[in-house]
Amino acid sequence: MDRNGRRLTAVGLGLAALLPLAFLGVFFAWPVATIVGRGFVTGGALDLTAIDDVLGSARTWQAIGSTVAQSLVGTVLAVVLGVPGAYVLYRLRFPGRTAARALVTVPFVLPTVVVGVAFRSLLVEGGPLGFLGADGTFGAVVAALVFFNYAVVVRTVGSMWSHLDPRPEQAARALGASPWRAFREVTLPALTPAITSAASLVFLFCATAFGVVLVLGGPGYGTVETEIWVQTTQFLDLRAAAVLSVVQLVVVSASLAVSGWSRRRREAALRLQADGTVDHLVRRSDLPLVALTAVVAGGLLVTPLATLLVRSLRTPAGWGLDNYANLATTGSENTLEVSVWQATLNSLRIAVDATWIALLVGVLICVVLSRRPRHPGGRRAMGVLDGVFMLPLGVSAVTVGFGFLITLNRPPVDLRSSVILVPIAQAVVAIPLVIRTLLPVLRAIDQRLRQAAAVLGASPGRVFMSVDLPVLGRSLGLAVGFCFAVSLGEFGATSFLSRPDRPTLPVVVFRLIGRPGADNLGMALAASVVLALLTAGVIGVAERLRVQSAGADL
C-alpha cells in the first residue's frame, strides 16, 4: 500500500470510529454526566448536601447493604454450585449432554421479569413451595439470582475446563496426590482466572439485578437499583436518584475492573488442547457431582419454569386456556391501556429497531478495535478508543433509563414523544453484548491473513469483505439473536421510558402482577410464558448459528 492508501485507510477508520463515538457521546456520556451533575451541582456550584442527605439516610444504607449482601451470597452460591456443574457438563461424557448444556443456559437468557414471576408462582401462598413463606424475602431473591447466573459460571468455567490439558493433573496423581489434592493443587490454580472472571461477572449481574428484585422482593426489600426507581417514579426525588446512580456506577466500575483484569489473566494463562479428547465417561467417583448437578438443574432451574407453565393453565374455574385467551383483553378493570398481544407487537417492533442500532454501532466499534495500527500514534489512539468503547460494558440498565429520563426529554434533544427512545436505550444496553460476541472473533483473525489479501491486490475494503466478513458471518447471527432477546426482555431501562399507551411485554407483565385479581395474575403468568417462549426461540435459532470457537463464552 502506498502512503496515500495508508492515509485513506486511517481516514476510513477515523470515520468508522466517529459514528459510535457520537452515538455513545449523546446516549451514554451525556446522560451519565447529567446524572453526576444532578447529584453534585446546584445552580452552577458544587453542592454536596444531596450526598449528605442520601448517604445520611438509613434507607440508603439498607439498600446498599442488601445490594452487597445479595450480590455476595448470590455469587458464592453460583460459584459453589456452578464449578461442579462445569465439571459434569464439560468434562464428562454422557448421553444427553448437549441437551443438558442447553437446559442450563436457558435461564440466563430469560427476561428478568419472567424469572421473577416464575419464582413468585412457586413461592406465593398456595404455590408448590408456599409453605416456606419465602415470598418477598432475601432468600427468594438470592435463589432467583443463582438461577440466572448458574449458567454464567458453568459456561465460563466449563469452556475453559474443556480445553484444559488433563495430564498435569494426572502427573500430580502419579506423584502421589489424592484426587481432591490434585484438583486443589493443579487444576484449581489453572481454573482460577476463569472462576474469578465468572465470579466478577456474576457479582456485576447480581448488583445490577432490577426486574427480579422488583417482582420478588417484598415491600421492605430494596437494592440500589430499585431505590433509584422508587425515588424517581414514586418520590420524584431526582437528586437522590442521581446520587444513588453514582453509587451504582462506582460499584459497577469496580467489578468491571476485576472482571477485565481476570479476563486478561485467563487469556494469558490458557494452555489449550483440542476439545473432545479430554472428557471421559462417568466414573463411580463422579456420581456425587453428577447427583448435585442433577438436583440443581432439576430443582433450581426446571421447577420454577414448570410451575410457571402449569399455573398459567389454571383458572378460577379449573384448568384451561382462559388466561391465554385473556391476552387479547386489557385485563380485569382495564389494568392496561392496550391488550397484551398489542404489547407483544410493540416489543417485537422495538426489538427490530434496537437490534439494528446495536449491531450498526457494535460492529463499527469491533472493526475499529480489531485493527492493530503499526504507527505508535495510531496505537495510542487505539488504546484510548478501546477504553472509551468499553466504558458502557457493564453499566446498569436502570442508570441508562434514568439518565435518558433526565437528559433526553427536554431541549436540545427532546425524544420524550419519539418512538425511537426506547429502542435506543435498549441498544445501549445490548451493545456490550455485541462487542463481547464479535470482538474476540475479529481479534482472532491472523493479521497475516489480511496482509496476504492486501499483497494479492485487495483494497482495504476488499480485505474486510473477503477476510473479516466471512469469519464474522456466523457470529453475527449470534449477536443478532442476543440483541433481539435482550431487547425483548429488557425491563430496567424500559420501565423508566416506556409510555403507558406503548408498553412492552415485560412492562405489561410487571403491571399485571402488581395488580390484585386472579385474572390479572393468570394473565401475567400466561404473558410470561409467551415472553419466555419468544426469547428462548430467538436464542435457540441464534445458538444453531454459533460456530464452535466463536468467542462469547457467555
Partner 1 sequence: MRHLVVRYGTTTAVDAVSLDIDPGAVVGLLGPSGCGKSTLLRAVTGLDQPSAGSVCWNGADLADVPVHRRGFGLMFQDGQLFPHRDVGGNVEFGLRMAGVDRAGRGRRVAELLELVGLAGFARRAVTTLSGGEQQRVALARALAPRPRLLLLDEPLSALDRALRERLAADLSSILARTRTTALYVTHDHDEAFTVADQVAVMADGRILQTDPPDRLWRHPVDRRVAVFLGYRWFVPATALGLHGAPAACTAALRPESLVVDPAGPLVARVVDQRFARGASTLRVDVGGLGEVEARAPGADLFPVGGCVQLRVDPAAVALLDR
Selected from 14, 25, 56, 179, the binder of partner 1 by CB under 8 A is: 179
Smaller CB distance to partner 1: residue 185 or 322? 185
Query: Applying CB under 8 A, which of residues 170, 233, 418, 549 lies at the interface with partner 1?
Result: 170
Residues 224-263 that bind partner 1 (CB under 8 A): none
Q: Binder to partner 1 among 6, 97, 163, 173 (CB under 8 A)?
A: 173
Of 178 and 418, CB closest to partner 1: 178
CA pair distance 254, 268, nearest whole angstrom: 22
Q: Least Å distance between CB 268 and partner 1? A: 11
265 interacts with partner 1 by CB under 8 A? no
For partner 1, give the closer residue by CB, 172 or 507: 172
Nearer to partner 1, 265 or 349 (CB): 265
Closer Cβ to partner 1, 262 or 535, answer by number: 262
Residue from 19, 26, 36, 190 binding partner 1 (CB under 8 A) = 190
Spatial distance between the Cα atoms of 256 and 246, rounded to a whole number of angstroms: 15
Q: Are 79 and 199 in contact (CB under 8 A)?
A: yes
Interacting residue with partner 1 among 154, 186, 361, 385 (CB under 8 A): 186
Q: Near partner 1 by CB under 8 A, which window of 96-104, 171-179, 208-216, 393-401?
A: 171-179
Cβ 86 vs Cβ 157: under 8 Å: yes
Q: How far apart are CA 397 and CA 493, in angstroms?
A: 5
In this chain, which stretch among 100-108, 182-190, 310-318, 373-381 interacts with partner 1, using CB under 8 A? 182-190
Instruction: Confirm or reject binding of residue 282 to partner 1 (CB under 8 A).
Output: no
Task: Quickly list DSSP for 457-473.
Answer: T--HHHHIIIIIHHHHH
Q: Which listed residue (3, 271, 374, 448) binds partner 1 by CB under 8 A?
A: 271
16, 382 in Cβ contact below 8 A?
Answer: no
**Which of 47, 165, 322, 543 forms a contact with partner 1 (CB under 8 A)?**
165
Q: Which one, 46 or 281, has the nearer CB to partner 1?
A: 281
282 secondary structure, DSSP code: P
Q: Are strands 318-319 and 314-315 parallel, antiparallel or unpaired?
A: antiparallel
Query: Going by C-beta distance under 8 Å and a sequence separation of 6 or more, which residues neighbour residue 540?
Result: none
> Closest approach of Cβ 265 to partner 1, in Å?
11
Q: How near is the Cβ of 544 to partner 1 at its closest, in Å?
A: 28
Strands 41-42 and 318-319: unpaired
Of 171 and 328, the one with the shorter C-beta distance to partner 1 is: 171
Q: What is the DSSP letter of 277?
A: S
Task: Of 249, 224, 242, 226, give the one whose Cα is nearest residue 49.
Answer: 242
Angstrom distance (rounded) from CA 279 to CA 96? 14
Given the C-alpha cell 421492605, which residue does it identify? Answer: 220
- Number of residues lying near partner 1 (CB under 8 A): 21
* Count of other CB atoms within 10 angstroms of residue 452: 13
Give the integer Cα–Cα distance in Å for 437 and 479: 6
Does 378 engage in binding with partner 1 (CB under 8 A)?
no
Kind of pairing, strands 314-315 and 413-414? unpaired
Residue 178 within binding range of partner 1, rule CB under 8 A: yes
Evaluate whether 27 touches 428 at the Cβ level (below 8 Å). yes
Interaction with partner 1 in 322-351: which residues (CB under 8 A)?
Answer: none
Cα–Cα distance between 250 and 331 in angstroms, integer?
41
Q: Which of 185, 237, 279, 353 binds partner 1 (CB under 8 A)?
A: 185
Distance CA 550, CA 537 (A): 20
Which span (17-25, 175-183, 198-206, 225-233) binds partner 1, by CB under 8 A?
175-183
- For residue 138, the minimal CB distance to partner 1 (Å) is 38
Q: How far apart are CA 552 and CA 149, in angstroms?
A: 15
Question: Under DSSP, is residue 441 helix (H, G, I), strand (E, B) or coil?
Answer: helix
Distance CA 347, CA 342 (A): 9
Identity of the residue, 93 or 410, whose beta carbon is nearer to partner 1 in the bound complex: 93
- The binder of partner 1 chosen from 1, 18, 102, 171 (CB under 8 A): 171
Q: Residue 445, SS3?
A: coil
x/- map, 110-149, partner 1, by CB under 8 A: ----------------------------------------
Distance CA 203, CA 208 (A): 9
Question: Is 163 among the residues that bind partner 1 (CB under 8 A)?
Answer: no
Residue with Cβ nearer partner 1 (280 or 379) = 280
174, 310, 444, 455: residue in contact with partner 1 (rule CB under 8 A):
174
List of residues contacting partner 1 (CB under 8 A): 165, 167-168, 170-179, 181-182, 185-186, 189-190, 269, 271
